[in-house]
Amino acid sequence: MSRASVACELAEHGTERHAGLLRPLARPEGGAVWATWTTPAEIVCLALNDCGKRGQSQESSCGLFLEHPGSCSYEQEDALKEDTTRAARIDAALAVLGGADQHDARIVQTAAHDAALLTWDELRASRIWPQLPACDHAAVYRLLAHADSVHATRASIASAARDLAGDVLQITHLWAPDAPQQLPHGDAAADLLSALARIPAGWQSWALGSQRKSRHLSRIPLNEAVEVATRHGSEGPAPRSESGWEAQRDRKEVERLGPIIRERLRGLPHGWQVDTVRRIALGADALGAVAGAARSMNVIRRYGLYLAWNTAGPSVQTGRSSAPSSRRRTPGAS
């Protein structure tokens, strides 16, 4: 079963109990199943009644559960009202990132955070965020974490800033008129992940282990490697790559790292798996991509974002269970 992920929807808080919506309940009185957790390994699913409170305009109702801690969801949404200056501020931040080597490091770091956070704000304010697939949520979360990496030496700052600017620019296309409501290559990556899961484990390790820059071995594009594995997976174990003493070290690295990459990829939530496979298929180092995804899931806590996964497994507790507790702080997504 796929490891699904869910994000906490309570107003910004610390390390107290979190809660994320899983699915509405098909019953006359409404309600929904919520995943609650303190750590991702301790998930409890609760069937909770709806909050039902409405804002002063009476047009929007709270999407949280009854007696939830903190502010109602419509108060959080009010903080993300349309801002006519946001696009210009994103453009200004991108201009700094594009010329990172001409600016002080602190200015570049500020621009990196502005570009990432304002882009995420615009996606939510324009109501694009709920329409995006899970792999694109993962891509945006990774973008937020990437903003924190723009802080080392001047040479690495320039490289990281350019990479971040390219990712932000791609996401800004989502709110262009008639733009598709998803990032490119997501569907192809989902199909590739499904095909990868259908081949024997040894061939999976071979295909993924080959997705690294080697001195003597040619990198086979991931889609081609999966096609080869699909055709020959039933014939026996995966090939031992190229022969010759020059390639021996690289071949051993493929054999050593392939199973590690495979297991780390399997350990990610499904949407993050798809986004990671998308990045690998586009040329990213496979080990770096899976490690970066895991690291991003930890880094985004700095922005008040808390994730849990394996949410399909725990049983649901029904009735008037105690709501998750949290001390109230500044409203925001978490």
User: What is the full DSSP assignment across 230-246?
Assistant: HHHGGGSSPP----SGG
112 close to 164: Cβ distance less than 8 angstroms:
yes
Residue 320: the pLDDT is 42
Query: Are 190 and 167 members of one domain?
Result: no
pLDDT attached to residue 87: 92
Q: Which helix (H) or strand (E) holds 151?
A: none
133 shares a domain with 58: no
Q: Is the pLDDT of residue 12 over 80?
A: no
In the chain, the number of structural domains is: 3
Residues 165-222: tens digit of each pLDDT = 999 999 999 998 888 889 999 999 999 999 999 999 999 999 999 998 877 678 899 9
Which of 39 and 270 is assigned the larger pLDDT?
270
- Mean of the per-residue pLDDT values for the chain? 85
In this predicted structure, the answer to whether residue 7 has a pLDDT above a threshold of 60 is yes
Instruction: Report if residue 180 sits inside a domain.
Output: no
Residue 328 located in a structural domain: no
pLDDT in tens, 45-67: 999 999 989 887 657 789 999 99
pLDDT at 222: 97
Same domain, 220 and 256: yes
- 326 part of a folded domain: no
On the 0-12 / 13-18 / 19+ scale of CB atoms within 10 A, 157 is buried
Residue recorded with tokens 């262009």: 176
Nearest to 141 by CA among 160, 159, 162, 119: 119
Give me the numbers of helices (H) and strands (E) for the chain, helices first please: 11, 6
309-327 residue pLDDT tens: 764 444 445 444 444 433 3
What is the per-residue pLDDT for 266? 94
pLDDT, one tens digit per residue, over 98-110 is: 999 899 888 999 9
Residues 170, 114 share a domain: yes
Q: Which domain holds residue 240?
A: 186-284
Q: How far apart are CA 238 and CA 202, in angstroms?
A: 6
> Is 297 contained in some domain?
no
- Statement to judge: residues 119 and 171 lie in one domain: yes
The secondary element (H helix, E strand) that includes residue 277 is helix 270-281
Predicted local confidence at residue 333, as pLDDT: 36
Measuring CA to CA, how many Å separate 312 from each of 131, 198, 315? 21, 21, 8
**Of 175, 197, 219, at which residue does a domain stop?**
175
165 and 137 share one domain: yes
- Residue 74, domain member (yes or no): yes
> What phi and psi values does residue 43 have, to the nearest 5 degrees?
-90, 130
Percentage of the chain exceeding pLDDT 70: 85
Answer whether residue 14 shows pLDDT above 70: no
Q: Mark whether 118 and 199 lie in a shared domain.
A: no
Q: What is the pTM of this model?
A: 0.83
Do residues 190 and 169 both lie within one domain? no
- The conformation of residue 12, written as its DSSP 8-state character, comes to S
Q: How far is CA 223 from the centre of its chain?
A: 22
Same domain, 129 and 214: no
Residue pLDDT, tens place only, 135-170: 999 999 999 999 987 865 556 788 899 999 999 999
For residue 204, being part of any structural domain is answered with: yes
Q: Are residues 134 and 208 in the same domain?
A: no
Together in a domain, 123 and 169: yes
Q: Flag whether 131 is in a domain.
A: yes
In this structure, is residue 171 part of a structural domain?
A: yes
Place of tokens 């702080």: 329
Alpha-carbon distance of 120 to 273, in angstroms, equals: 21
The reported pLDDT for the residue numbered 112 is 94
pLDDT-derived band of residue 302, with 50, 70 and 90 as boundaries? Answer: confident
Q: Give residue-wise pLDDT tens across range 71-80.
A: 898 887 776 7
45 and 63: one domain? Answer: yes
Q: Is residue 239's pLDDT more than 80?
A: no
